[in-house]
Amino acid sequence: MALIRLDEPTTHRIPPDTFSLFALGFRPFYLLAAVFSVVAIPIWALIYSGVLVPRMPGIWWHAHEMIFGFAAAVIVGFLFTAGKAWTGLDTPTGTPLAILAAVWIAGRLAMAFGSATVAAIGDVIFLPVCAAIFFAVLLRSKSQRNYFIGGLLCVLSVANLSFHLAQLGLIGVDPLGTLHGALGLIVLLETIIAGRVVPMFTANALRGVRQWRNKTFDYIAIGFTALALGLWVGGAGPAGAVVALIAAVMQFVRTAGWNPWATRVNPLLWVLHVSHLWIPVGLLLLAAAQWGLLPRSAGIHALAIGSTGGLIIGMITRTALGHTGRMLAAGPVETAAYVLVQAAALARVLTVALIPAAATGGVHLAATLWALAFGLYAWRYFPFLMRARVDGKPG
């Protein structure tokens, strides 16, 4: 029987100052997404004001880059990281991960400086490749529960291709409509994943917290949400508004069942609850828009800034802390970032809905608050994402 010497470690520990940007999917893509959004959102404010003139309609560039640039990077980083935990199989690391990050960067440069054709070629590659990699991991592990999430990533890839074909005039579809469809897919992905993790995070952190959850009700609420978003994208009008209203009520009930009030003293939790509450708010605003009561931009930004931005800032702090071996606790920097994103959502939505004359000011205020929030994230988490886990474990 072999003996282990007491002065020899039984496991290999990675030195804490080791360069680890490509050790796991969340590292490069969270950092790239944060830095990109700090630059892209102020640029959009300048485009909105007429200071800058992009090669394509400004709203197309803005919506596309926040969906297929910013959000897509976070989604891929999250799924590559979570996929490893869900399946026990490796997702891209090292050189393959660095190549994927380079492909994402090339897409952003193509969208900013290339012709319509160059933008299409440079941008459409990233998502299908990532979807194929993620789906291959799910199939090898027979993780059937997560096939649907892999399928949504594939559909998102098709939506991006449709946008480029539409802006090239190759298909008779409104390019902005494809972007609205993509936003709907992301919101659907958010409410599915949040329904799994937010109540679990809450129960784990607040022992004995009371929650109400019903799997059948969840499925119905998600189904109505998917239908409501689909009808809105398809321009169903008043009929779509009724479905959106039903979906909003069900999502309010669902989120209230997770006991958000109990999380008020824990920023790492309340940011997720508050951000998910923007989904029913967004659905209500979309219903009002389909009844002709409000501009559709109010509902769009409730979903895009409040829900998507809020859940992203909440998840990229939480998962980065956990996967770098740190305590799951939000300090002053994280809390400030959470508040800034929520304030950006309020500024954008309220000016559109209640003070149309202040729309330009609302855009600039929201852009400033957003850039500050993700600038804080990039500043705080840059060393965390660049260096090895503090506990010496891989990842």
Residue 234 lies in a domain: yes
Residue % of the chain over a pLDDT of 70 = 97
Q: Report pLDDT digits (tens) over 214-245.
A: 999 999 999 999 999 999 999 988 999 999 99
pLDDT at 4 over 50: no
Range of the domain at 284: 187-385
**Residue 387: strand pairing partners:** 19
- pLDDT-based confidence at residue 107 (cuts at 50, 70, 90): very high
pTM of the full predicted structure?
0.95
pLDDT at 6 over 90: no
Residue 392 lies in a domain: no
Average pLDDT over residues 114-125: 94
Average pLDDT over residues 299-303: 97
Averaged pLDDT of the chain? 94
Amino acid at 175: P
Amino acid at 36: F
Q: Give phi and psi for 19, each to the nearest 5.
A: -65, 120
Question: How far is the CA of 209 from the CAs of 53, 165, 206, in angstroms?
Answer: 52, 50, 6
User: Which pLDDT score, from 0 to 100, does residue 145 have?
Assistant: 87
Residues 199 and 261 in one domain: yes
Question: How far is the CA of 316 from the CAs of 79, 82, 270, 278, 332, in angstroms?
Answer: 12, 12, 14, 18, 16
Of 31, 151, 28, which Cα lies nearest the Cα of 91? Answer: 28
Domain boundary among 142, 173, 204: 173
The angle subtended at Cα 218 by Cα 214 and Cα 220, nearest 5°, is 120
pLDDT at 136 over 80: yes
Interacting residues of 242 by C-beta distance below 8 A, sequence separation 6+: 287
Residues 251 and 349 in one domain: yes
Residue 4 lies in a domain: no
What does the alpha-carbon distance between residue 344 and residue 118 come to, in Å, rounded to a whole number? 33
User: Which pLDDT score, from 0 to 100, does residue 323 have?
Assistant: 95
Domain boundary among 115, 148, 173: 173
pLDDT at 10 over 90: no
Residues 75 and 159 in one domain: yes
Residues 362/315, Cβ–Cβ less than 8 Å:
no
Residues 222 and 364 in one domain: yes
Helices (H), the chain: 26-48, 58-64, 72-87, 94-113, 116-124, 126-141, 147-167, 175-205, 215-233, 238-256, 267-290, 296-301, 310-323, 332-354, 359-386
Residues 147 and 266 in one domain: no
Residues 222 and 168 in one domain: no
Residues 197 and 74 in one domain: no
Residues 77 and 192 in one domain: no
User: Which pLDDT score, from 0 to 100, does residue 1 have?
Assistant: 41
Residues 146/154, Cβ–Cβ less than 8 Å:
no
What does the alpha-carbon distance between residue 289 and residue 284 come to, in Å, rounded to a whole number? 9
Average pLDDT over residues 362-376: 98
Residues 93 and 130 in one domain: yes
Instruction: Give, to the nearest 10 degrees, the angle between helix 72-87 and helix 94-113.
Output: 160
Residue 45 lies in a domain: yes
Residue 274 lies in a domain: yes
Give the position of tokens 């003070």.
355
Q: Report pLDDT digits (tens) over 38-82.
A: 999 999 999 999 999 988 999 999 999 999 999 999 999 999 999
Residue 152 lies in a domain: yes
Amino acid at 173: V
pLDDT at 313 over 50: yes
Residues 280 and 361 in one domain: yes
Residues 74 and 101 in one domain: yes
Q: Give phi and psi for 93, each to the nearest 5.
A: -140, 170
Residues 102 and 32 in one domain: yes
User: Which pLDDT score, from 0 to 100, does residue 3 have?
Assistant: 45
Give the position of tokens 């997720």.
272
- pLDDT-based confidence at residue 11 (cuts at 50, 70, 90): low
Domain boundary among 146, 173, 200: 173
Average pLDDT over residues 171-184: 96
Q: Report pLDDT digits (tens) over 261-291.
A: 999 999 999 999 999 999 999 999 999 999 9
Q: Tell me how many domains the chain contains.
A: 2
Chain centroid to Cα 380, Å, comes to: 19
